[in-house]
Structure 1
């Protein structure tokens, strides 16, 4: 069972499919993708991702506020819990810290991240974490606020081996995207090699970051095949082993039946 553990189905470029999301989903299924997690990034698209998941048995949703999409008022923990109160919502996020463009709202990002962690712990749904240029703060806040029995995943991981293993020690999973296929990602491929297969997920983060040989095109869930194949190549194991183990990991983390 190949799973795209992180995609933005409400943002896909559907022009190759005459605007039909179902056709894009079918293209992924025909390449063996059997589950997808459609990610929420703000209050505005929470209902959209839930509606998409509700219409498809093989799609689940998460709800949360991306650190680059914070409004003036930070969502309180109780408000996040209310957003996540749906049977198709299996995770809180994406949330986290992103200081790449600016550090002007660091305090607001940190407050929001803490609220998401508290909501995840309260309702026992794992957290989906975005982190960029904020390694130590991300780890410190997870260490302070996370319930290790709930934990979550650092998605689209591009940080150091040391950060990956610190997160693993706190019971988080690490998810890799098409970035691992890029020519200039040798250091990241070393991180892939170091992360145990039984603590790893694969994703597209579509419509962003299409893997080689599709780099420069709009990404979509069917290209998670290339990510899984790259993991197999790095680790010197079969594609089938990567598919089976990452699916088992996804189902374990999000408490789903196989």
Structure 2
């Protein structure tokens, strides 16, 4: 579990609420249902409008990575490639076929299948690079829904402020209704700017960092498969793979 993310979010919210209290305000004054509906509902709708359904769902699922990051065992990747490389040099590439059955990662399975099929190194590299590029773009497209939310939220917050002021102008003759309208106007702006900068944008950046880790792992695997394909000394291949972690 990524405790730093939870601590960071807690500190950010506590700082905002604490500042409100220190200025003599009340936390309850920041709780406005109408403002929340306008900002968060409007942001959600805008993001859904621009995003294909599958990408939108994947982006929501990836949000879990902020708290529970995907585990990538880089050392195990190097160890596995070294083991396969040694075996291929001793007994030939066809002996790697027995490992295909238990592989869950489609990228690893495809790379190993290409080795077993005797694919030329250049063709193997070209094929796996296409898969890697598609994999990276798929994840980054899903993560971009959080960047989109960060872009829409402040603007929709301003829209909520305008709606609140319209409500104020419509009730100038009734002072009892002015307070609620003004509150919605300012709180909507707080919600929009706060959500964008304290949640949506940080989530997007954290997801991009985890995506980079996934891409690094696949780049390492690509180097490993190429090393095996050309019959390189497994120690040299392992050294190149470890170079990605420097």
TM-score greater than 0.5 by the shorter chain: no
Q: Which has the higher strand share?
A: 1
Please give the TM-score of this superposition, normalised by the length of structure 2: 0.23
Higher RCO (Cα < 8 Å, 6 or more apart)? 2
TM-score, normalized by length of structure 1?
0.22
Greater share of helix: 2
Structure 1 or 2, whichever has the larger Rg, is 2
